[in-house]
Structure formats: C-alpha cells, structure tokens
Amino acid sequence: MNELMLAAALACTPPAWADTEWVRGEVVKLDPERSRITLTHAPIKIVKMAAMTMAFKVKDAAVLAPLKVGDKVRFEVLEQDSELIVQRIEAQR
C-alpha cells in the first residue's frame, strides 16, 4: 500500500523547473569562494520557510559577481538534496 502511494506521488511530481520560485531579499554577505550567499529573505512558499537571514548555496559562483552587500535582490530558489540552491539572482535597482 505504501509503495503504491509513493508511486502515485512520484507520478504527480511536476518537472523540476516548476519547483522554483522568485523570492525577494537583501544581500548580507557574499562568499564566492564557497559558492555561498547570505540573504535576508522574504517567506519562501515552496519550502514553507518564514522570513529570515540565512546562507544559501548558489548554482554558479559567477552569479555573485555583479552583487554587493546591501543590494535588494530577487532570486530563484530550488530545493535539491534537502538544500536550498539559488539558481538565479538579480539586483533590483
């Protein structure tokens, strides 16, 4: 029974790109050497996370290059291996 329910759940999983969400935030710290960024972020619905300040991994450190601390940004986040990965991020100027 459990296996059947799991199979049904997997069949209903939307494609990965549909699991991303644009979130608003502000840059607190940049760590390109470790491909990480610390952001104060608004609530993230897809993972039911309240607003907070936390570090995210970025898919590619190059996305951090145009950013500086204090920038207001919007970013697209995706949950992968129970870690939140920033796919894209752009400053709102």
Which residues make up the interface to Cu ion (CB under 5 A)? Answer: 49, 52, 54
Minimal distance in Å, beta carbon 30 to Cu ion? Answer: 17
Burial class (CB in 10 A: 0-12, 13-18, 19+), 90: middle
To Cu ion, the closest distance from the beta carbon of 7 in angstroms equals 32
Strands 52-58 and 72-80: unpaired
Rounded to a whole number of angstroms, the minimum distance from the CB of residue 76 to Cu ion is 15
Q: Closer to Cu ion by CB, 6 or 42: give it.
A: 42
Contacts of 32 (CB under 8 A, 6+ apart): 61, 64, 65
CB nearer to Cu ion: give 54 or 91. 54
